[in-house]
Amino acid sequence: MNLKPFIEEIEKQKLRVEGIKVVQKGMDIAGHRWIPECRRNVHSVSKNFASIAVGMAIDEGKLRLSDRVTQFFKQDEPPGSIQEERWNALTLEHLLTMNMGHTEFSRPASVKEALSYELSAYPGTSFCYDNTCTFLASAMLTIATGCTLKDYLLERLFLPLGISDIQWRASGDGYTVGATDLFLTTSEMALFGSFLLRRGSWEGKQLVSASWIDAATRTQVPTNLKNKPDYNLGYGYQFWTCRHGAYRCDGKDGQYLVVLPALDAVVSINSDEKNAEPILWAVWDHILPEILN
């Protein structure tokens, strides 16, 4: 596979990409490094690992999409009647689809802080990308399973994939943040992408149900983000639906894991680039044609 057009485009635009790896049909077909490979914060790609953990807990009967947040947490100060109604309606599925009703992006330091937020929309009616959703889902999983999200995935996902010594930040009240702050290499992200391509199967063992992968990676809610062609095609359970029959994990500053099921291919990219969208456009313009060939 010829990566030269992609590399030239990245360097022409002076985009701070750190590395790329392309896997197709289970084989590494291309890669390039601008800096030596090392683990870095993959930011919101962390959310996709949280989604897999929730799917596993659902498979085990420990969680349900219909579970209500207020079943798991007691708010210190009961909200007013409208807020109480909205909080009582909030489910795990609303959290996974970023439809909590809290319409501002936030990074709560604790469950107590998250539960203090006003729900300005009724759950399920307003898509708003918000770390609070993933954090509360992580905390629900911990209460349901007795394990932090990080520890829960260690034996069930990370070690089977050959990923050890996991670094994933915890909140002050002891829950894995979930939404961000998982540290991985480009190659480790590519392994996760291969696991997704296999619909949750790894080395002959089904780690999470194929039906969960299918549901998580297809559009569950509309997004309709104007002037954002790669963000207006819908959202699944912590996964973005995108063009060309693909879906993706998408983290701040250009952490991309693009999964192309029809082509049996994965593109894994780490970056340190504030203007990240052109990196994804370069994938469509220069990597996709090479995979198609």
Q: What is the domain partition of the chain in residue ranges?
A: 1-38+185-293, 47-181
With 80 as the cut, is the pLDDT of residue 76 above it?
Answer: no
CA distance 201 to 102: 35
Tell me whether the CATH fold assigned to 1-38+185-293 matches the one assigned to 47-181.
Answer: yes
With 90 as the cut, is the pLDDT of residue 188 above it?
Answer: yes
Yes or no: domain 47-181 corresponds to CATH 3.10.129.10 = no
Q: Tokens 């299918």 appear where?
A: 214
Strands 255-260 and 205-206: unpaired
Q: How far is CA 206 from the centre of its chain?
A: 20
**Is the pTM value of this prediction over 0.95?**
yes
Virtual torsion, Cα 61, 259, 179, 60, nearest 10 deg = 10
CA distance 137 to 73: 12
Tokens coding 121: 């929309």
Of the chain, the percentage scoring pLDDT greater than 90 comes to 94
User: Residues 249-276: what's their mean pLDDT?
Assistant: 98
Average pLDDT, the chain: 96
The model's confidence at residue 77, banded by pLDDT at 50, 70 and 90, is low
User: Residues 83-106: what's their mean pLDDT?
Assistant: 96
Yes or no: domain 1-38+185-293 corresponds to CATH 3.40.710.10 = yes
